[in-house]
Structure 1
Amino acid sequence: MKNVKHYECTICHQIYSKDCKFMTCPTCGEKGILEIVFDYEKIKKQVSKAYFKNNKIYSIKRYLPFLTVDPLYFNHTLNVGWTPLYKSTKLSNDLDILDLYFKDDGQNPTQSLKDRASIIACLKAKELGYDTISCSSTGNAASSLAGNAAKMGLKTVIFVPKRAPIGKLIQLKAFGSNLIQVDGDYKDTFKLSKESIEHYKWYNRNAAINPHLVEGKKTVAMEIAEQLDFKPTDYVFVSVGDGCTIAGVYKGFYDLMQVGLIEKIPKIIGVQSEGCAPFYEAFHNNHELRETSEDTIADSIAVGIPRNPIKGLNAVKKSHGTFIKVSDDEILESITLLARNEGIFAEPAAAASLAGVIKAKKENIIKDLNSVTVIVTGNGLKDPNAIKERITNWLLLKADINEVKKHIRNSKETI
């Protein structure tokens, strides 16, 4: 960690050596999430716009000066990151937004943004001599960890709640993970994983506990900035569960501003489901996060007790953004809108960010001349059952051209 100065507790602000072995503040306990503080003057000597222009490594490895991992094992990883940033071809007009972009992180190796955290976890586990890595997950972190660990020869033990979608379960089992499905919600799942990790001394991939994982997630913001020639949009929308991803988005832009590569941090808008909105409630009612239900189709953001509340809230407060909540119906409608208008198939949690944009436009939070980036965190094939009922049944015709002609004549759709 050559560019790291130290760790700092997000609660008591105690400083700890970068060589310390613990993951949370010894004084504040599990809630004392640590922040990794970088030596930006040192990084300034290593990176510039020319550095990135001449860099031919198109993965998160291109941001190595901003990461906390030893590059020794990077040649044995999946190619995580450098996902496409698409400029909207239709929805920008429909929503009356001058410049609208979609960052499709469903194009990562296991089809979600969580690969950015999992690759860092696997690299740290190898660096520290672990052979087994573990986490709790609503699904995406699970399949992501399983895939990245398989590539690097690590064993995994992964805990998921009973409701985890079958697509994600099949994916992580295909990668050879030891899957433990917990008869309970995410709170029960996290508790069991925590106890098991402590007992068996596995490496901990839980993003809210492990401070290195936000550093992996921040690369999505760094890519957005770089792909826009270091002139990020006015707003960035991202769905929120535990608070780790939105914390990473802020940290990525913050790092780039500290070394002079961007001039501003976009206003970050966190989007939650109405059925599970602890960040929204805490932010708008000005109180600490309180446990809520986990009643939403967007399983990846169904976290009733977020484990990274301070970093998650700070990302919005420090960027002068806000939190928005949307209904499951609005989320499902956004899956269809995004797929049919932009060619991007998103799972419910990922489509929540677009639903947030639509609501923000209606509520005049974003203006006509504002520019917007929407982070699409996961591919729709992760949870196809969520949208199945909204898809019109397809036809089965005889292999006869007359049948096709008859169908087209009678079709209500323009062909």
Structure 2
Amino acid sequence: MEVKCPRCGRTYSKVIPPKCVCGEELEITYDYSIVDVKRWSGRNRGVWRYKELLPDVRKVISMREGGTPLFKAKLGEELNLNIFIKDETRNPTGSFKDRFVTVAVSYGLPYAENGFIVASDGNSAASLAAYAARANRDAFLVVPKKVDKGKLIQMIAFGGKIIRYGESVDDAIPYAKELAKLNGLYDITSSSNLIGLEGQKTLAFELWEDLMPTHILVPTGSGSNLYSIYKGFRELLEIGAIEEMPRLVAVQTERCSPIASEILDISGKTEFTKALALYVREPINKERAVRAVRESGGTAVIVNEEELDLGEKALAKEGVFAEYASAVVVPALFKLKEDGYFEKDDKIALVITGSGLKSVYEERERSMITGTKLEILRILRDSPSYGYEIWEKLAKPMKYQAVYQHIKELQALGLVEEAYKRGRRIYYKLSSKGLRLLENIEE
């Protein structure tokens, strides 16, 4: 692995910034002359199958991420096109970000004695919480106020230290960067960490091995995944595995389309979108993403908010439950088909980046912890109480024995724990996990 500034010649090792001190963008390169792709077929599927084109690490922190399924979509029969779904929801934490995080955490481990930090709108934070737990390191997760509740629950479950800051990830990024400097934390935010992008590019290697598509539709927020896929295919060109790069299509929503608008040369908006993972007002990887699309000969598509439900339902019929931020590729596909963009023999890949199970909105979360259980959590937040005492405070027409059943279930979820005993009475209190969950429900 080598990192050398193309402008001033300065070389970098260890902690690698996205830009040189002279202001030039940096990029990680390898000795491509020694890469033999035939070796890959003899290894297990997954990110680390392609280790010759990944940074050297002392210890791999992995949960068998990557190697996700690619299958033909029924949708193609309706449109008379060859359409394939690359289902990244099958990664360990349910999103493509596990590719990024396994490499970033493995590489950053020697520099993360005090822990890792990330600014994220959800998926990266949930992933880091899981991988940092595997690495026995703390994970500090700077997330905006507007974030999918399901992802917050993941972060809590994995023991992440959540810091709520700003309205969108754009506000969280500089704050996380400052916290990293002040506290000696290794920052894996995609805008600050080139190493993790190397993990994401393995998606391109898998698409090449399984399909070699002519077109790839990519949900686009920060632009990091789009650029990573482009870099992966460019390296396949470099080693002679392919002769032509597939066309990349950036997909964004009409309410937040800074990258797509730039590609299409139109004015765009940077407003809140219910496809939360795509709510990035000022994507730092914008230039890289735009260049990736243009150099691949691709394009961009902007979809309406009301089309997101259509995309989610269409993917559900394929057996894939995708978050809105992934479902955007379906209406984009319809638009391109209508415009005559594809030819009959094209092989079109739809990248589904994150699971719908992670997009738990507030009303869905309340349906999980609601009614009596939610009231019990609020009672125990005020002070430790025993079962009969909780029953009296609830003042509901129910048997007091039912309260103990609720407590038992809350204990099983790790939200309530024993505080102390006084005689035969057991007093219960909120666990730290229960307190964080209650705070996030009431946010």
* TM interval, short-chain normalised: 0.7 to 0.9
Contact kept? 1:8, 1:36, Cα under 8 Å: no
TM-score, normalising length: structure 1? 0.83
Matches within 5 A, 1:269-280: 269-280=249-260
1:42 pairs with one of 34, 55, 58: 34
Q: Distance in 2 between matches of 1:375 and 1:263?
A: 22
Alignment partner, residue 353 of structure 1:
329
Alignment partner, residue 73 of structure 1:
59
Give the secondary structure class of the aligned counterpart of 1:169: helix
Alignment partner, residue 85 of structure 1:
70
Higher relative contact order (CA 8 A, sep 6+): 1
1:216 pairs with one of 173, 196, 199: 199
Give the secondary structure class of the aligned counterpart of 1:34: coil
Give the secondary structure class of the aligned counterpart of 2:85: strand
Q: Note the alpha carbon deviations across 1:222-278, whole angstroms, 9 max, x for none.
A: 1111122xxx11100101111110000101111112112222210000101111000
Task: Pick closer, same or farther for the CA change 1:320–1:201 going to 2, 3 Å.
Answer: same
Alignment partner, residue 235 of structure 2:
255
Identity across matched positions, percent? 30
Q: Distance in 2 between matches of 1:115 and 1:299?
A: 18
Contact kept? 2:112, 2:185, Cα under 8 Å: no
2:115 pairs with one of 110, 129, 132: 132
Alignment partner, residue 219 of structure 2:
239
Alignment partner, residue 168 of structure 2:
185
Q: Distance in 2 between matches of 1:244 and 1:197?
A: 21
Matches within 5 A, 1:391-402: none
User: Where in structure 1 are there 5+ consecutive unaligned residues?
Assistant: 389-415
Which residue identity lines up with residue 13 of structure 2 in the other structure?
D
Contact kept? 1:33, 1:209, Cα under 8 Å: no
Task: Pick closer, same or farther for the CA change 1:327–1:171 going to 2, 3 Å.
Answer: same
What's the CA shift for 1:28? 4.5
Q: Does 1:23 align with 2:17?
A: yes
Q: Distance in 2 between matches of 1:85 and 1:8?
A: 37
What is the root-mean-square deviation in Å for CA atoms of aligned residues? 2.0
2:311 pairs with one of 323, 329, 334: 334
Q: Distance in 1 between matches of 2:72 and 2:9?
A: 42
Matches within 5 A, 1:237-316: 237-285=217-265, 292-316=269-293
Alignment partner, residue 61 of structure 1:
48
Q: Distance in 1 between matches of 2:362 and 2:86?
A: 22
TM-score, normalising length: structure 2? 0.78
Contact kept? 1:292, 1:305, Cα under 8 Å: no
Give the secondary structure class of the aligned counterpart of 1:336: helix
User: Where in structure 2 are there 5+ consecutive unaligned residues?
Assistant: 365-443
The structure that has the greater radius of gyration is 2
What's the CA shift for 1:280? 1.5
Contact kept? 1:187, 1:304, Cα under 8 Å: yes
Q: Does 1:323 align with 2:300?
A: yes
Q: Which moved more, 1:13-22 or 1:239-248?
A: 13-22
Task: Pick closer, same or farther for the CA change 1:260–1:127 going to 2, 3 Å.
Answer: farther
Which residue identity lines up with residue 95 of structure 2 in the other structure?
S
Q: Note the alpha carbon deviations across 1:24-58, whole angstroms, 9 max, x for none.
A: 334355xx542112221132xxx233x12222x22
Query: How many pairs were matched up?
Result: 364
Q: Distance in 2 between matches of 1:368 and 1:77?
A: 40
Q: Note the alpha carbon deviations across 1:78-106, whole angstroms, 9 max, x for none.
A: 11110111112x20011221x21100000
Q: Distance in 1 between matches of 2:282 and 2:181?
A: 20
Q: Distance in 2 between matches of 1:189 and 1:65?
A: 34
Contact kept? 1:161, 1:181, Cα under 8 Å: yes
Task: Pick closer, same or farther for the CA change 1:365–1:386 going to 2, 3 Å.
Answer: farther
Which residue identity lines up with residue 327 of structure 1 in the other structure?
N
Contact kept? 2:114, 2:183, Cα under 8 Å: no
Contact kept? 1:274, 1:325, Cα under 8 Å: yes
Contact kept? 1:347, 1:384, Cα under 8 Å: no
Contact kept? 1:69, 1:120, Cα under 8 Å: no
Contact kept? 1:239, 1:349, Cα under 8 Å: yes
Give the secondary structure class of the aligned counterpart of 2:274: coil
